[in-house]
Amino acid sequence: MSTAEQKSARDNRDEKLSGSRNFQECTIMPSSRCLLGLTIGILLGGVALAAIITLWIQNRQSTTTATVSTSSTAATIPTTVGTTTTVNLPAQCSTYVSNTDATRSATYSGVGSSTCDSPTPFGSNPAWVRFSGAAGTQLATTVVNSSLCSTSATGWYSGVMPSSAGTTNNGTVCYNWTGLSCWQSNIISVTNCNGYYVFLLPATPSCSYRYCTS
């Protein structure tokens, strides 16, 4: 064996002996150098473990996000069908003067008659009146020919009837006379009593003027 080979063999033997002594020293009596190495090893292992855990959590989150984004929720909103509404009707729907006079009908001829509503025949002035029976159910809402409904100047309502129960409209009654459908007029009120109407009627402007019905 050459001198160089002998030297290399001695170096390898010394290195192995040194490593063995270092291991024995760290095992029997840990030095600061050994503790430092151990700490670094633990830290490196912890970093690797943390990286693995982080990747695992991210993978779980991405899977959960994908699942949620593809889901949908349907909501059903119930609707109420067939409900009823109670309406409080005004006092005039229960306290009124009832009139069933057939001669007030817009089709009643009564030739030669000059019946009038001045002064009022309904007791008070004005008075809430409900027409029924032979008189019809309401004031005439179209022009009534003169000399019908047993009078000369025939009264008809030119306003709008209230469409909702419990509501009241004000409108004009016109009197047809001498070829003029609204020769004279006066204002009245009409209340929808949920199935019938009541009319607040003042005395007519003059005699031979009368409220006609239909």
Do residues 149 and 114 lie in contact, with contact meaning Cβ atoms separated by under 8 Å? no
The pLDDT assigned to 180 comes to 96
Residue 54 DSSP symbol:
H
Q: What is the pLDDT of residues 37-64, one digit of tens each?
A: 666 767 666 666 766 777 666 666 544 3
Angle between helices 3-28 and 32-69 (to 10 degrees): 70
Q: Give the pTM.
A: 0.61
The pLDDT assigned to 124 comes to 87
Positive or negative, the CA dihedral 175, 178, 179, 180 is negative
Per the prediction, the chain carries an average pLDDT of 79
pLDDT greater at residue 28 or residue 183: 183
Distances (CA, A) of 164 to 11, 90, 101, 135: 116, 13, 27, 23
Query: Above 90 in pLDDT, residue 100?
Result: yes
Q: What is the pLDDT of residues 183-198, one digit of tens each?
A: 999 999 999 999 999 9
Lowest mean pLDDT among 38-42, 107-111, 125-129, 179-183: 38-42
pLDDT greater at residue 172 or residue 83: 172
Lowest mean pLDDT among 81-95, 152-166, 195-209: 81-95
